[in-house]
Structure 1
Amino acid sequence: MTPLVCFSFILMQYAGGEVITLQKGKEVYCATKRNQPVYLSPPIIEESKDLPKYLKMDTWNDDDWKIKNSNQFTEAAVSDKRWEDFKTNRTNYLRFDNAMSISLSVYSSVEIEIFVNDEEYLDYMKLPLSNDRWTHLTIILYNNTVIHIKNDVVFKKIIDFKPTEIVFKSMNETYWKIHQYDFMWSDKITTGKATTLKLPTEQTCIMFYVALCRECILTIPELGRTFQSNNKKGDFFNSWQSYQLEVEGETRISFVKTRTDSIDSGEWEIDIRDCPVIKNNNVIYKKIISGEEETKHTCEILNNQQEMQLKKNIEGINYTIQCDPGKLGEKCDINCETILGPKYTYCQEHIICEGNKWKCAWGFISANITATLCDKGCRIGKWGADCSNVCSSGCITCNPINGKCGFKIEHTVMPLLLVISVIILAIIYILVCDMPLKE
């Protein structure tokens, strides 16, 4: 049976809120309440993460599930949270031989060239890209047809063509993420005992990703959860769906595969990952070591329309950090120490980006506009984020973080001057009164 084309994205509701960047030298922290992939702009070279332990574990019992790799099937680009796990390379040349599908993401400000070759024919194109944004590309080989997909949209088909080599080139070194990952796969309905999976007790939150053919159904009885395909007739692909499971103690779940018709074969795919690191107030947190001391990075949300609309919404707005010291986010409900730890109650020495605007943490200022840390304290008479506030009238010094006055003229100097004046007048009076009169 020829595998069906699978188009990969996660069905998640928009959670609202921008992504916050905090940087101190090489260390970059990203915090958001949106369960979508986060990347650095400009990107950095990153190694891929280990394979999911749930596919390595020998706790899949019964039935016919097998571990498969995405290159063995006609899979499209992944743009859900799993995207962060893919290795980031930097090169101007990529070559693939005899693959059923190739999915990758490219970050470049220049166009790239794509060569699709067979033994007798070469298909060539130049593809323009969006500046400062990742573009997802997929080339699928399906029934002797080559299908080109860019950002989830089919833009080119080549009929009666079976290439043996695909090459990507760019004029300059470009950042690439090649989408290669394993998942559990089955092509038969459940006829006997259902597959059972034992989940580890040390894990408290697990993400299930499920992709199905149009008539296929997957049921997890223990969770009371049934997945059905949302594909339309004539679609080339299946879409990934997600389910988040909170685990308490040892848990066993089972997977029952059925169909809406009488056919006993189909496509059932499961990928299982740990949930992203979530801290107080549902903040999703990620720490990245950039490796480049002098490069300022911005954390961005991957993907398409929501990201682009957010950027449009903040254009022209004079966004400033208006929360109380140590508070971040649109609702000021994210604490610095939640992201950075208890040593950084006020994000000390970090440069902060919110709403596409950069500021130094409260009580600090940077040496220059391109600095990646804020290591200079406010001058006397200044306070707040970026030391942009002036101490209140009559206040000689104030707290550089919250502006609380520490030495005020009318409260200290004026009474002191009054006392000194009284003493001087008293001395003058005594001297004058005691002076003998001239005859």
Structure 2
Amino acid sequence: MWLYLCYILTRTFILAEVITLIKNDNVTCVLTGDSVYSGLYISPLEDQKGFNRSQNQLNSWVNDDWLISNNISQYRPITDIRWESLEISKSSFILLQNNSAVTFSVCHKNDLVFKLFDVDKKDERSFKVKSRIHQPFCNWSHYALYTRIMQSVTVSGSLGELLKKMPIEKLKKENEKTKKDYQLWNLYDNKLIKTVHFTPKWLRIGEREAVKIVKHKYRYSNRTSENYSYLDIPRLSKHLCISMFISVDMDCYLNVTLTSGNETVNQTVTGFNEENSLKEWKKIKIKNNFAENAKLMFFRGHSSDRKEGYWAVDNIAFCRPSVDTKNIILPTNISYSSRCKVLDTKLADTKICKKRGYIGNNCNISCSQVLGKSYPNCETYKICTENFNCSCAWGYEGEFCNKTCDSGGWGMNCSLNCGANCKTCSKIKGCTECKKKFFQDYPGYRCNETLTVLVRPPVLTSITEHSLTVFVDMTYDQSAKKPEYY
């Protein structure tokens, strides 16, 4: 029997952003693109209790021929939004079942030690997995521990002659040898870490690390459909979009149909789970514009005439918004060092937006959109990207971004100055009015261009087909008259 430890690296999807907004004890996570479906967590917190985002699952089944299971041991670790609802394990010990996988996430900052024990927890084998990133705070990594019985048949001489001399059942019984060694594998590097020659019953993960064991309910079936199973979908808006997670074995397929009246949208998911490997989930969306209530229908099929296979569906819900937010209250001694992070999305190299009142790499998310109308310029908020680049909002500075700019200062972190030639300086907008004799190229910019002072306006004295003559009086007696033209 072989025991594998898989270190699962997160999969990459569409480029997305995660932005952290902090004010006092309030932390707001802003997610864009495909990050809205990723597992979200706050770093450096290990206990993510109470941090689940609402998933609004649809469950109004009318014809339901699926089975319900909470045995998700045959799957790779979950790193999407469903991960948020998994509880932190109260014990670092995990009971191992024969021929059953254990998938889990661990938050660790240093090298991780796994320990395998026998039934009485006396015999012990230890294995160390080196941390890929050493940081002062923990990061979540994802693992799968599973066993397989590897069997081989040893025969000598002509196989044809042996088959003639004894029944095949007896041949198997006498020549079959079962390997019972347990092996620990890092499947990412495809390297054997350790081999043990005893039957472990318990796995201990680290010492004080936070552990989430993957276990939740989902729908599955091992048989093809005889009729469509479906659920009713209420009409909430003009544009209907439904997302879900699908798992289908090779040679199987799942038809997903969204229908309303005479309008139908169909999507077929072909099998992708390989034999003798951990199963995976794939997120799909199906959408259209319907004027009435709709039905979401499922039909399980096989590429051959076989009736057996494997199909699963989970987390059927209305599509998440393109910009998603989550608020959490933390002590201020933690909040200002916290960052919102995601598990399974490749993030863009986010930069701090310099456009007043906006955030995001493309400056396309307004402060009021995510914080409300009371914060049109993200007032008093600290704005941070996922890569720990931070700045105070326009008009504020300081460690907690609650100090207004000193006289003449403005902009993010009060890093800009209106200058001595500015008459009216806004801490958010910059210079809004220059002193006389000066002007701006653009609103908010420094008033650093002087103008010639004229007592009288220019006078046009003559004009021809090819030229004109203008008289300009450049004299100016400061004590006699106030200038009126610039």
Same fold (TM over 0.5): yes
Deviation at 1:350, TM superposition (A): 0.3
Partner of residue 389, structure 2: 357
Q: Which residue of 2 aligns with 1:66?
A: 67
Aligned residue number for residue 272 of structure 1:
315
Matching residue's letter, 2:300:
K
Does 2:86 correspond to 1:86? yes
- Give per-residue Cα distances to partners, 1:338-359, cap 9 Å, x unaligned: 1111111000010011363211
Q: Give per-residue Cα distances to partners, 1:68-121, cap 9 Å, x unaligned.
A: 1144x42220122322333356x7x51122443322222221222212233496
Contact kept, 8 Å, 1:380 with 1:397, in 2: the verdict is no
Give the structure 2 partner of residue 214 of structure 1. Answer: 250
CA shift for structure 1 position 298: 1.6
Counterpart residue type for residue 138 of structure 1: A
Name the structure 1 match of 2:272.
230
Is 2:379 the counterpart of 1:348? yes
Q: Give the equivalent residue in structure 1 for 2:222.
A: 187
1:33 equivalent to 2:32? Answer yes
**Cα 1:419–1:365 shift into 2, 3 Å:** farther
SS of structure 2 residue aligned to 1:274? strand
Quick one: structure 1 residues 335 and 70, their matched pair in 2 at CA, closer, same or farther if it must change by over 3 Å?
A: farther
Tell me, yes or no, if structure 1 residue 290 matches structure 2 residue 330: yes
Q: Which amino acid aligns with 2:145?
A: I
One-letter amino acid of the counterpart of residue 79, structure 2: S
Report what 1:136 is aligned to: 142
Larger radius of gyration: 2
Helix, strand or coil for the counterpart of 2:34? coil
Separation of aligned partners in 1, 2:298 and 2:9:
21
Tell me how large the CA RMSD over aligned residues is. 3.8
Name the counterpart of 1:377: 404
1:409-436 per-residue CA deviation (whole Å, 9 max, x = no partner) reads 6579x99xx999559xxxxxxxxxxxxx
Q: Which moved more, 1:235-244 or 1:112-121?
A: 112-121
Equivalent pairs counted in the alignment come to: 388
CA distance in 2, matches of 1:212, 1:153: 26
Are 1:116 and 2:151 matched, yes or no?
no
Does structure 2 retain, via aligned residues, the 8 Å contact 1:212–1:229?
yes
Q: TM-score, normalised by structure 2?
A: 0.69
Cα distance change on mapping 1:7 and 1:375 into 2, 3 Å: closer
**Distance in 2 between the 1:27 and 1:116 partners?**
42
The 2-side partners of 1:406 and 1:88 are apart by: 57
2: CA distance, partners of 1:153 / 1:410: 69
What is the match of residue 457 of structure 2? none
2-structure distance, mates of 1:70, 1:78: 13
Partner of 2:280: 239
The worse-fitting range, judged by mean Cα deviation, of 28-37 and 118-127 is 118-127
User: How far apart in 1 are the matches of 2:198 and 2:250?
Assistant: 27
Q: Which amino acid aligns with 2:139?
A: R
Deviation at 1:61, TM superposition (A): 1.6
Matched position secondary structure for 1:104 = strand
1:47 & 1:201 partners in 2: Cα distance? 33
TM-score (norm 1): 0.75
What does 1:103-182 correspond to in 2, within 5 Å? Answer: 103-119=103-119, 122-129=124-131, 130-131=133-134, 132-143=138-149, 155-156=191-192, 163-170=200-207, 173-182=208-217
Question: How far apart, CA to CA, are the structure 2 residues paired with 1:176 and 1:47?
Answer: 12
Report the Cα offset of residue 240 of structure 1. Answer: 1.5
Gaps of 5+ in 2: 1-5, 151-179, 259-264, 440-449, 454-475, 482-486
- Contact 1:183/1:271 (<8 A) preserved: yes
Find the aligned partners of 1:94 and 1:27 in 2 and give their Cα distance. Answer: 31
Identity level (%): 22
Question: How much does 1:245 deviate?
Answer: 3.4
Instruction: Report deviation, 1:133.
Output: 2.7
1:362/1:18 CA distance change after superposition, 3 Å: same
**Given the alignment of the two structures, is residue 95 of structure 1 paired with residue 70 of structure 2, yes or no?**
no
Q: Which has the higher helix share?
A: 1
- 1:137 Cα deviation (Å)? 1.3
- Does the CA contact (< 8 Å) of 1:7 and 1:238 recur in 2? no
Q: Gaps (5+ residues) in structure 1?
A: 1-5, 424-439
| Contact 1:75–1:140, Cα closer than 8 Å, also in 2 | no
Task: Give the CA deviation at 1:257.
Answer: 1.0
